[in-house]
Amino acid sequence: MSRPLQLACFLLGAAVFGYLVAQIGVGQLVSDAGRTGFMFVPIVLLYALVYACSALAWQLTMGDSGRPPYWRTYAVLVSAGALNFLTPLINAGGEPFRAAAVAPWLGKRRAAGSVILHRMLHSFTYVLVWLTAVVLAFALLPRATPVVVQVVLGIVGAVLLLIIALLLSAHRSGLLERILNWMSKIPLIRRLSARLESKRALLIELDQQITDFYHHQPKRFVQAILLEYLSRCIFMLEIVLIVASLGFRLDYLLAFTIGGLEAIAGNVLFMVPFEIGAREGSFYALFNLFGLDPLLGLYTSIVSRVRDFAWIAAGLLLVLIVGPSPASASEPAT
């Protein structure tokens, strides 16, 4: 990745980051962190373990030869996470950055394939986590819960099972060329499909990387899924720690359920930039639904935003570090 492109990513991300800090207010962020006290340190550090598991999963998709060192993979992932957060709506600004940052080791096509594959595994695991949260919700909801809530959860569970089936199909048979074929049949985007037609050979090659990983490396496929799932399990501890910082105790399975259902709501409301208001409302409603003080839910959402800002700041700093490869890493042929 060129130095000017690195600098542009950093400046753009820093500008959006500064805007968000200004909107929320430095004083508010400091106050929220202060109320959490010393517990804020493990809350922030917990996310380091989340990234550690995800980085290992990403390395599994790269193969054994010529891949970047683990800590560089980790740094690139943290940087991409910051850029993703600062890209409202599509939440994908970090993926091109990831591909460019590891291309000196893997080559452009292998790098793109590994990023797409890891993103698909990441999404697949998210859906598994959400389905787990829905199943747990049926067991943990208070008896007085309205029937309509249970019906909605049942519908959500059925939709998640369908998505899991579709994602497994994508891993078995490829996805990118099929998307191009679908696009050519939709009137509003046929022109875009025609422009992408010249890339069909590349899409077929990337599809091949995805299906090869599933069919020829099933052990790595399962390991990557388990690592991503573990990362989400670790992440759910954050809710337990935030509530504990206020002197209350929250069962881990209930925290997992609330965290998983909030993530579903956040993705349904993906059109809300930075989940502003959506995250707060979801946590407030979910804590209330499970018979907890809804103000605890509001506080949880605020502290999680402070954690977001801490890792965004770290990621933006790493953008300046993880661009050009060291001289010892020569770029393979594409």
- Which tens digits make up the pLDDT trace of 150-170? 999 999 999 999 999 888 887
Does pLDDT of 183 surpass 70? no
Q: What is the mean pLDDT of the chain?
A: 81
End-to-end, the C-alpha distance of the chain in Å comes to: 14
Residue 24 is predicted with a pLDDT of 58
Residue 257 has pLDDT above 70, yes or no: yes
Q: Rounded CA gap, 223 and 213, in Å? A: 12
Question: Which residue would you say has higher pLDDT here, 93 or 9?
Answer: 93
Does residue 282 have a pLDDT over 80? yes
Place of tokens 């696009």: 183
Q: Which residues have CB under 8 Å from 241's CB, separation 6+?
A: 39, 42, 43, 46
Residue 332 lies in a domain: no
Range(s) of the domain holding residue 303: 3-319
Query: pLDDT tens digits for 74-90?
Result: 999 999 998 888 765 45
Tens digits of per-residue pLDDT, 64-73? 778 899 999 9
Q: Which residue has the higher pLDDT, 177 or 249?
A: 249
Question: pLDDT at position 167, please?
Answer: 83
Q: Are 220 and 60 in contact (CB under 8 A)?
A: yes
**What integer pLDDT is reported at residue 97 of this predicted model?**
87
Residue 48 has pLDDT above 70, yes or no: yes
Using the predicted structure, report yes or no on whether residue 254 has a pLDDT greater than 50: yes
So what's the pLDDT on residue 251?
95
Cβ-in-10-Å burial (0-12, 13-18, 19+) of 109 comes to: middle
Do the domain assignments include residue 329? Answer: no
CA 195 – CA 300 distance, rounded (Å):
46
pLDDT at 328: 42
Q: How many domains does the chain have?
A: 1
pLDDT at 319: 82
Residue 237 pLDDT greater than 80, yes or no: yes
Predicted pLDDT at 329: 46
Q: Quick check: is 334 in a domain?
A: no
Lowest mean per-residue pLDDT among 57-61, 102-106, 113-117, 203-207: 203-207
Structure tokens at 71: 């800590």
Q: pTM of the prediction?
A: 0.81
284 has a pLDDT exceeding 50: yes
149 — pLDDT class (breaks 50, 70, 90): very high
State which of 9-23, 135-149, 201-215 shows the largest mean pLDDT.
Answer: 135-149
- 60 within some domain: yes
More confident residue, 47 or 298: 47
CA distance linking residue 207 with residue 280, whole number of Å: 38
182 or 222, which is more confident? 222
- Angle (CA) 19-92-219 rounded to 5° is 140
| Residues above pLDDT 70, as percent of the chain | 73
Does the residue 333 lie in any domain?
A: no
Q: What SS3 class is residue 145?
A: coil
Task: Tell me how long the chain is.
Answer: 334
Residue at 150 is within a domain:
yes
Q: Which of 207-211, 244-248, 283-287 has the lowest mean pLDDT?
A: 207-211
Residue 331 has pLDDT above 60, yes or no: no
CA distance 266 to 262: 6
Whether residue 330 is contained in a domain is answered as no
Q: Does 160 map to a domain? A: yes
Average the pLDDT over each of 154-158, 244-248, 259-263 and give the range with the smallest value.
244-248
